[in-house]
Amino acid sequence: MKAFASLYWRLDATTSTTEKLAALTDYFHAAPDDDAACAVRLLSGGRQSRGVSTTLLRQWASEAAGIPLWLLEECYAQVGDLAETLALVLPGGAPPAATDGRGLAAWIRDTIEPLRDADDARKQEIVRDAWRRLGPEERIVWHKLITGGCRVGVSRTLVAKALAEVAGIDAAVMTHRLMGGIGDADDYRRLFSPEATEADSQRPYPFFLASALDEPAESLGPATEWQVEWKWDGARVQIVRRGGGCAVWTRGEELATDSFPEIAADAAALPAGTVLDGELLAAREGALLGFAALSRRIGRRRATKKVLADIPCVFVAYDLLEDSGHDIRGLPLGERRRRLEAVGLPVFPSGDARLQLSPRLDADTWADLAAARATARDRGVEGLMLKRLSSPYGTGRTRGDWWKWKTEPLEIDAVLLYAQAGHGRRAGLHSDYTLGVWHDGRLVTIAKAYSGLTDAEIVEVDRIVRATTLEKHGPVRICSPTLVFQLAFEGVSRSTRHKAGVAVRFPRIVRWRRDKQPADANSLADLVALIDAAASPGAVP
Write down the pLDDT at residue 96: 55
Longest Cα pair distance anywhere in the chain, in angstroms?
Answer: 71
| 534 Cβ neighbours under 8 A, 6+ residues apart | 290, 377, 378, 380, 491
Residue 289 maps to a domain: yes
pTM, entire model: 0.69
Residue 217 maps to a domain: yes
Residue 127 maps to a domain: yes
Residue 123 annotated in active site: no
Q: How far apart are CA 492 and CA 528, in angstroms?
A: 8
Same domain, yes or no, for 121 and 217? no
Q: Of 95, 120, 146, which closes a domain?
A: 146
Same domain, yes or no, for 108 and 132? yes
Q: 86: closest CA among 149, 32, 37, 24?
A: 149
Mean pLDDT of the region 379-386? 93
| Per-residue pLDDT tens over the stretch 223-242 | 999 999 999 999 999 999 99
Q: How far apart are CA 477 and CA 432, in angstroms?
A: 11
Q: How far apart are CA 418 and CA 397, in angstroms?
A: 35
Residue 373 maps to a domain: yes
Q: What are phi and psi of 40, to 5 degrees?
A: -60, -45
> Are 264 and 250 in contact, with CB atoms under 8 Å apart?
no
Query: Residue 513 carries which side chain, given as an amino acid letter?
Result: R
Q: Which of 116-125, 160-169, 294-303, 439-448 has the lowest mean pLDDT?
A: 294-303
Mean pLDDT of the region 485-497? 86
Q: Is the pLDDT of residue 154 over 50?
A: yes
Same domain, yes or no, for 277 and 349? yes
Q: Where are the alpha helices (DSSP H) in 374-518?
A: 376-379, 455-467
Residue 86 maps to a domain: yes
Same domain, yes or no, for 417 and 508? yes
pLDDT band at 395 (very low <50, low <70, confident <90, very high): confident
Percentage of the chain modeled with pLDDT above 90:
56
Q: Of 103, 125, 146, which closes a domain?
A: 146
| 302 Cβ neighbours under 8 A, 6+ residues apart | 258, 259, 261
DSSP 407: P
Q: What is the mean pLDDT of the chain?
A: 89
Residue 515 maps to a domain: yes
| Per-residue pLDDT tens over the stretch 355-364 | 999 999 988 8
> Are 243 and 272 in contact, with CB atoms under 8 Å apart?
yes
Query: Residue 395 carries which side chain, given as an amino acid letter?
Result: T
DSSP 47: -
Write down the pLDDT at residue 494: 83
Q: Of 406, 434, 467, which closes a domain?
A: 406
In sign, the C-alpha dihedral spanning 48, 49, 53, 58 is negative
Mean pLDDT of the region 486-502? 86
Q: How far apart are CA 361 and CA 377, in angstroms?
A: 16
DSSP 122-170: HHHHHHHHHHHHS-HHHHHHHHHHHTT----S--HHHHHHHHHHHHTS-
> Are 509 and 449 in contact, with CB atoms under 8 Å apart?
yes
Q: Give the CATH number, domain containing residue 456.
A: 2.40.50.140
Peptide linkage before 537 cis (omega within 30 of 0) = no
Q: How far apart are CA 130 and CA 107, in angstroms?
A: 9
Same domain, yes or no, for 322 and 285? yes
Same domain, yes or no, for 423 and 401? no
Q: Which of 51-60, 419-428, 445-454 has the lowest mean pLDDT?
A: 419-428
Instruction: Give the residue, 425 or 207, on which the prediction is more confident.
Output: 207
Mean pLDDT of the region 377-384? 90
Q: Is the pLDDT of residue 91 over 90?
A: no
Q: How far apart are CA 469 and CA 449, in angstroms?
A: 19
Same domain, yes or no, for 268 and 124? no
Q: Is the pLDDT of residue 136 over 90?
A: no
3-state secondary structure of 214: coil
Q: How far apart are CA 125 and CA 131, in angstroms?
A: 10
Same domain, yes or no, for 107 and 70? yes
3-state secondary structure of 225: helix
Same domain, yes or no, for 414 and 523? yes
pLDDT band at 539 (very low <50, low <70, confident <90, very high): very low
Q: Give me the count of residues in the chain.
A: 541
Same domain, yes or no, for 362 and 229? yes
Q: Are strands 226-230 and 274-284 parallel, antiparallel or unpaired?
A: unpaired
Same domain, yes or no, for 380 and 491? no
Q: How far apart are CA 519 and CA 443, in angstroms?
A: 10
Q: Give the CATH number, domain containing residue 266.
A: 3.30.470.30
Domain count, the chain: 3
Mean pLDDT of the region 68-94? 84
Instruction: Give the residue, 149 or 17, on which the prediction is more confident.
Output: 17
Instruction: Name the residue range of residue 306's domain.
Output: 211-406
Residues β-bridged to residue 229: 385
pLDDT band at 261 (very low <50, low <70, confident <90, very high): very high
Q: Which of 274-278, 419-423, 476-480 has the lowest mean pLDDT?
A: 419-423
Residue 189 maps to a domain: no
Same domain, yes or no, for 92 and 216? no
3-state secondary structure of 535: coil
Percentage of the chain modeled with pLDDT above 70:
96
From the candidates 231, 387, 406, 516, give the one annotated as an active-site residue: 231
Write down the pLDDT at residue 94: 56
DSSP 435-458: EEEEETTEEEEEEEE---S-HHHH
Write down the pLDDT at residue 296: 84
Residue 184 maps to a domain: no
